[in-house]
Amino acid sequence: MNRKFYLIILCLATAFAGKAQIGGETTYQFLELTNSARIAALGGTQVALTDTSDLNLPYHNPALLHKGMTNIFLVNYVNYLADINYGYASYAPSIDIKGNLAFGMHYINYGEFREATESGELTGSYFKAAEYALNIIYSDDYKRLGYGINLKPVYSVFESYQSLGLAADLGITYSSKDSLTHVGLVARNIGGQFSTYYSDGIREPIPFNLQAGISTRLRHAPVVFSLTMQHLTNWDLAWNEGEDEQTLETWYERQESFAKQIMRHAVLGVEILPSDNFILRAGYNYQRRQELKFDERLSTVGFSMGFGVKINRFRLDFATSRFHLAGTSNLFSLAINLNERF
């Protein structure tokens, strides 16, 4: 078996010793944002889907990069909340090497801000804030086992404060003999900061996330079910490490059942394929619903839906995801097949 596979297995095993951070306790939080309309419609993350034409999948698990994605170019755009926009562009070149290679650029633009002094007096100047992550994805396979890595150099700038870092995703997948069922495991965002936002600053952790998932297509129906379990190194997602002792005293009063704790880790998705050129999707993210809901009005927070259309060389995906009663996020993905023998 290939030595590179053993190396990836070793890195994934050591990742279990890491401690997951959630809810704004880390820097480079944009690395956790979903920019694919398809994945957003399926709840926000899925790591075991296999589709040789969707170049968005390796962003969530680099082991999902296959030869069938060669010469595919895609662009994602997300109309996020509070006039924040972010997106992703990727291309898988045709290179004569062992394995598969793809490149991508993930960015987020927080917009333009008016500068003010500490006392709140406006200076008349403006500044911008943005973050960028280059994606260098490589994958290979051994029989029905796939493995891959995604190296992500990160550049973050907020006004005059800048930071450089490096993150990596390590993933593996396994397919059943009939290719109807697939499982995946990925350790996302292993790494840290090279430089802090100010001199002699403390290096902050980045949002590590260990995920495992499964997807299966029904043998006699055009339906695909998918499930991903996230933040596997952090059991109690209802507890914030930064809460004070007074909150700790009331923690036992609001302890959740085992089933609810499990659901906080689960992201559920379903795809219905009436034809090869049209797909309907829906997803449910229980953790998002619990964090952002209003008890007085639950609405559809945590639910998402979308569709995909294929027309000749083009693939268009759309999704709408309800984060909060105050706003909904809309996502657009466009992929173009540049192969001459399409």
pLDDT confidence of residue 4: 44
What distance in Å separates the CA atoms of residue 182 and residue 167, rounded to the nearest whole number?
26
Whether 176 is in a domain gets the answer: yes
- The per-residue pLDDT of the chain, averaged, comes to 86
Q: How confident is the model at residue 19 (pLDDT cuts 50, 70, 90)?
A: very low
Whether 72 is in a domain gets the answer: yes
Quick: pLDDT tens for 52-84.
789 999 999 999 999 999 999 999 999 887 788
Whether 250 is in a domain gets the answer: no
pLDDT confidence of residue 15: 41
Q: Which domain holds residue 149?
A: 3-245+255-337
Tokens of 85: 């926009």
Tokens of 121: 């007096």
Quick: pLDDT tens for 174-183.
999 999 999 9
Domains of the chain: total: 1
pLDDT confidence of residue 325: 62
Q: Which residue has the higher pLDDT, 341 or 70?
A: 70
| Mean local confidence (pLDDT), 4-22 | 42
Q: How confident is the model at residue 137 (pLDDT cuts 50, 70, 90)?
A: very high
pTM of the model: 0.86
Residue 93 above 90 pLDDT?
yes
Whether 313 is in a domain gets the answer: yes
What distance in Å separates the CA atoms of residue 57 and residue 38, rounded to the nearest whole number?
9
Q: What are phi and psi of 244, to 5 degrees?
A: -85, 180
Whether 294 is in a domain gets the answer: yes
Quick: pLDDT tens for 255-301.
677 888 899 999 999 999 999 899 999 999 998 888 776 666 667 78
Q: How confident is the model at residue 240 (pLDDT cuts 50, 70, 90)?
A: low
For the purposes of burial, counting CB atoms within 10 Å of the CB of 65, is it exposed (0-12), middle (13-18) or buried (19 or more)?
A: buried
Written as one string, the DSSP assignment of 126-137 is EEEEEEEEEEEE
Whether 342 is in a domain gets the answer: no
| Mean local confidence (pLDDT), 19-40 | 80
The CATH number given to whatever domain includes residue 259 is: 2.40.160
Whether 201 is in a domain gets the answer: yes
Written as one string, the DSSP assignment of 41-90 is HTTS--SS---TT-TTHHHH-GGG--GGGTTEEEEEEEE-STT-EEEEEE
Whether 281 is in a domain gets the answer: yes
Radius of gyration of the chain (CA): 21
Q: How confident is the model at residue 247 (pLDDT cuts 50, 70, 90)?
A: low
Q: How far is CA 35 from CA 81, 263, 278, 319, 330, in A?
A: 13, 23, 20, 10, 10
| Mean local confidence (pLDDT), 153-167 | 94
What distance in Å separates the CA atoms of residue 12 and residue 60, rounded to the nearest whole number?
15
Helices (H) and strands (E) in the chain, counts: 6, 14
